[in-house]
Structure 1
């Protein structure tokens, strides 16, 4: 699978390099989400989630090693059609000391550069992830300590019990003292990491940003400090290089198959096993990207289904209740609806009686209810608190 973002020449664009750099983080997030979904139905997968850093580092170690061995590129770079090249400075002859006409020559990666590339792409991210988790734990511990700082008695009792449990040699003898010293040393190391990690992280991010900005402005050909430290540049792969890589892979695999030793049944078993491994590695890129798209599609599908199921059912509005009937002994309604039933005049400060819904003059209805405690038309019991002023006369 090969994606070409664009651009001319062998120098990749900034967007190609950024996409290749961000792919492992996106892949890890997708795999973590997928394992989390499966762990809801298969609880034994929680053990894999407990060792998420180790699991992903092992996976990337296999992928990066295979990609550097066969394509001279990382897993993400090979996906975008990029290749790593060793930078060699060749001095020009017949030049004066004041003039520097040295030119740069790009060649294939050496074995040492491949090993260091794997270390920069797998081991350093793993260490960074562990340091980040330690820093988060230390920060949460400090926050909790600051929240309980006002309770001196509780903290004092806790510290006293902790000290007695760690230092007292009565129960377990010298083993407890040794364990206590190890715990104290570990706690100090954690505190040092929690204090130093922000500076280390800020320095790393600042250097990465500076290199990316210089790469964007075409001031350097190294996209990151790690590439500069390795003396490696990333360039686009040509069609001939892709063909050479395919033939090199076939030669490496045929050589490995020829080296098989043992009885015929063992050779056959090893050959089948190698074929399965080769097929898995050949389709690893396509399979992982397809799995990411598949799980994101399933997430959208189930999220849409849950939204449809959890959406409240919209029922039609209920019919309004029938209007109250005029009592036989009540005041009859006037033919003109704008007149007050009590004074038979045009309503002044119209007000509705909530108990029955009829509209009167404010003063008329208040006087009547104060005296009779009921609606004058329906004879329904009412109070003055049920009189509501209207700002529009119907």
Structure 2
């Protein structure tokens, strides 16, 4: 199962390398989400989530080791049809008087490069994840101490005996050992909290620099780890894919020949090897399919929850009926553009807020100031409830 992102030649594009680098983090997020969903029905799965870093590191250790052993590529790189090649730079001299040029040759990975590749792909991300969790805990503890004070200062752990008297030497030895280990752990956490931001910033800065140089075609190394190991990532040709499949079959046949014991034991071992090979062969396709499946289910249930939790939108209520003209109030003129008080065309039209009827500003101001009511509905009103209209109907 291969995904091609484009480009020509043996050098992968920036987008292929970026996609291969982001695949493990996306896979981890999908697996964590799926385990969290299963944990709602099976609470014992929470034990796996408590050791999420160790579980994912062990899974990636198996996948990366098998992929580097069989395809000379990481798990994500093999999915995109990429291979790792060792870089050998040789000096090429045409003549004594001419300048010497460099020629780059690619070779297969050595055993040392495969082992160090596993370290860079599995061990270092695991250590980074643990340092990130320690840093987050230390930051939360620092924030809590700044808000509520230190726990050791707010609580007194003085021991009391059965008679209520203070005992100072009951558990001195055990307390000293516990306090020594606690102080050492606290110092370690403070050291990580102080140094981790700088280490993280330096790592991200170097990663960005290498990616920018790779995008500008200024270097053949996509990351610092590949540069340290002296490895270029190249596209696999059709012949290399065929050679890889034949090499895998030879390795498996040799492993089957090494089986020793009675026939029933060989059959059992052969069946276990066949199951392990099948799981490793379909690990890429199965994991990627699981990612898409659980992401689709997440979108489906999220959309359903949004539809169920969305508030019901009711139509706006109809406006209240207009106030009626009082029996002793001033009648409305037949022409709507006339002022009910002066029966002239309105000037500086203003509305009485309590009733909604429009008058001349001077007319309604004098009337409201004198009678404290609306002249048409006789509702109580004041001059503060007069509103100026900038557009008259």
Q: TM-score, normalised by structure 1?
A: 0.83
Identify if the C-alpha distance between structure 1 residues 95 and 190 changes in structure 2 by more than 3 Å, giving closer, same or farther.
farther
Counterpart Cα distance in 2 of 1:49 and 1:275: 30
Identify if the C-alpha distance between structure 1 residues 196 and 164 changes in structure 2 by more than 3 Å, giving closer, same or farther.
farther
Identify if the C-alpha distance between structure 1 residues 353 and 228 changes in structure 2 by more than 3 Å, giving closer, same or farther.
closer
Residue aligning to 1:377: 376
Residue aligning to 2:137: 137
- The alignment's C-alpha RMSD in Å is 3.4
1:161: Cα distance to partner? 4.1
Aligned length: 386
Could you give the per-residue CA deviations for residues 265-320 of structure 1, whole angstroms, max 9, x where no partner exists? 54444333333322221111112222222222233333333333344433333333
**Conserved in 2, the CA contact under 8 Å of 1:169 and 1:177?**
no
Counterpart Cα distance in 2 of 1:172 and 1:182: 16
Residue 387 of structure 2 aligns to a residue in which SS? strand
1:323: Cα distance to partner? 3.0
Q: Does 1:3 align with 2:6?
A: no
Q: Does 1:187 align with 2:181?
A: no
Counterpart Cα distance in 2 of 1:228 and 1:361: 85
Identify if the C-alpha distance between structure 1 residues 96 and 188 changes in structure 2 by more than 3 Å, giving closer, same or farther.
farther
Residue aligning to 2:153: 159
Equivalence map 1:177-256=2 (5 Å): 177-256=176-255
Could you give the per-residue CA deviations for residues 323-376 of structure 1, whole angstroms, max 9, x where no partner exists? 333333333222222222233333343333333332233444444445555443
Equivalence map 1:1-394=2 (5 Å): 1-88=1-88, 104-147=104-147, 155=150, 158-159=152-153, 161=155, 170-369=169-368, 372-394=371-393
* Worse-superposed segment, 168-177 or 274-283: 168-177
1:60: Cα distance to partner? 0.5
Identify if the C-alpha distance between structure 1 residues 11 and 393 changes in structure 2 by more than 3 Å, giving closer, same or farther.
closer
Could you give the per-residue CA deviations for residues 75-124 of structure 1, whole angstroms, max 9, x where no partner exists? 01111111122344667899979986775543322333222211121111
Counterpart Cα distance in 1 of 2:91 and 2:12: 26
Counterpart Cα distance in 1 of 2:273 and 2:252: 9
* Worse-superposed segment, 95-104 or 115-124: 95-104
Q: Which consecutive unaligned segments of at least 5 residues does structure 1 have?
A: 149-153
1:23: Cα distance to partner? 1.9
Counterpart Cα distance in 1 of 2:318 and 2:94: 101
1:68: Cα distance to partner? 0.9
Counterpart Cα distance in 2 of 1:354 and 1:220: 75
Residue 136 of structure 2 aligns to a residue in which SS? helix
**Conserved in 1, the CA contact under 8 Å of 2:214 and 2:221?**
yes
1:176: Cα distance to partner? 1.1
**Conserved in 1, the CA contact under 8 Å of 2:93 and 2:100?**
no
Counterpart Cα distance in 2 of 1:222 and 1:85: 11
**Conserved in 2, the CA contact under 8 Å of 1:212 and 1:223?**
yes
Identify if the C-alpha distance between structure 1 residues 97 and 24 changes in structure 2 by more than 3 Å, giving closer, same or farther.
farther
Q: TM-score, normalised by structure 2?
A: 0.83
